[in-house]
Amino acid sequence: MAPVMFVVPSETIKIVNHHPVVSPQGLIMMPILQNWDPRNNLLEAVECLQRYFNQASPIYSIASPTSSRMTKQQIIDPRYPQDDIRLSTTERVSHVPKSSPKEELIQQVLSKVKNNRTDILRSYNYKADLLNLHMQIMSEYVDICYSVSDEIKRQNEIERKLRKWIDDESKTYSELKRNMNEIREFNKEASMISQMQSEFESKLQADDLINLVNVQAEQKGLLNSITSEASIEDMLQLCHVLYKRGKMATKDYIGEIRGLSHDKFLVQLQRTEYLQN
């Protein structure tokens, strides 16, 4: 949401008409505010506003309602000569004798000069106060700029930490995904091994096991195959225990299972041939 800025007038400070960016009601309507983008920041808006105010001030002072100036009609009096009335300085007026019949008019002129001096001083003081107010406003803008700059730095630091956290989580997710693929491959191999083992065990009959005890010396190979199969079974069990305890990597575990399963298959095939003979 775009920020909203106002120029607040007072009894002595008014808003100029037809200002480029300030409406008569005091609302600031700069292009950066009207086309505000979330990527913009308040510091840019303040700098832009300062450039506009340096080019054209949005406020002006009101002339003092007590200030007045004698008009020609007020000065001219048909009872007196015009040369005596056209006195341009206080010094020349003061040299007129007090006994002059124009003393009343002279006092009026002196009073007007004094009033004009008072009005000039009042206007000067007002402009000085106006400049002081402008200086205070610009000082507040500087404080706002510093605050906005600190907030931007803080937000950038938060964004940097969030990006680092996202990168770390992405790496962890990739590692977990790779491990899941290896586990699926292992489960697939284990299922194939179980299926092969079931097929071979279904072919063995109870009487074949009894005949194996009474083998002759020439059937020594059958005993060796049985011994080898038992050894392979022990190795399979050992690999499974090591993998469960985390002592063996998944890749090594799958390789060992494949090799032992292949050896077991050959031994069982050899034993089947002995039994058939």
Q: Other C-beta atoms within 10 Å of 60: how many?
A: 13
Q: Is 99 left (phi over 0), alpha (psi -120 to 50) or beta?
A: alpha
In this predicted model, what pLDDT tens digit does every residue of 45-62 receive, in sequence order?
Answer: 888 888 888 888 888 877
Which distant-in-sequence residues (6+ apart) come within 8 Å of 106 by Cβ? Answer: 87, 93, 96, 100
User: What DSSP state is assigned to residue 64?
Assistant: P
Q: Which CATH superfamily is domain 1-62 in?
A: Ubiquitin Conjugating Enzyme (3.10.110.10)
Phi, psi dihedrals of residue 96, rounded to the nearest 5°? -70, 130
Contact call for residues 201 and 264 (beta carbons, < 8 A): no
Strand extents, DSSP E, the chain: 13-15, 59-61
Bridge partners of 28, per DSSP, are 22
CA-closest candidate to residue 80, choices 114, 116, 108: 108
Confidence of residue 120 (pLDDT cuts 50, 70, 90): confident
Instruction: Using DSSP, state whether 70 is helix, strand or coil.
Output: coil
Give, to the nearest 10 degrees, the angle between helix 220-244 and helix 206-213. Answer: 120
In this predicted model, what pLDDT tens digit does every residue of 205-249 receive, in sequence order?
Answer: 555 655 555 555 446 666 777 777 778 787 778 788 887 888 778
Q: Other C-beta atoms within 10 Å of 268: how many?
A: 22
Confidence of residue 162 (pLDDT cuts 50, 70, 90): very high
Domain spans of the chain, in order of start:
1-62, 64-167, 169-276
5 token code pair: 């800025």
Contact call for residues 213 and 245 (beta carbons, < 8 A): no
**Residue type for position 221:** G
The lowest-confidence range among 3-17, 84-98, 121-135, 206-220 is 84-98
Give pTM, 2 decimals: 0.26
**pLDDT of 157:** 92
Q: How far apart are CA 100 and CA 80, in angstroms?
A: 11
- Range among 9-13, 197-201, 209-213 rated most confident: 9-13
Angle (nearest 5°) at CA 245 between 242 and 251: 60
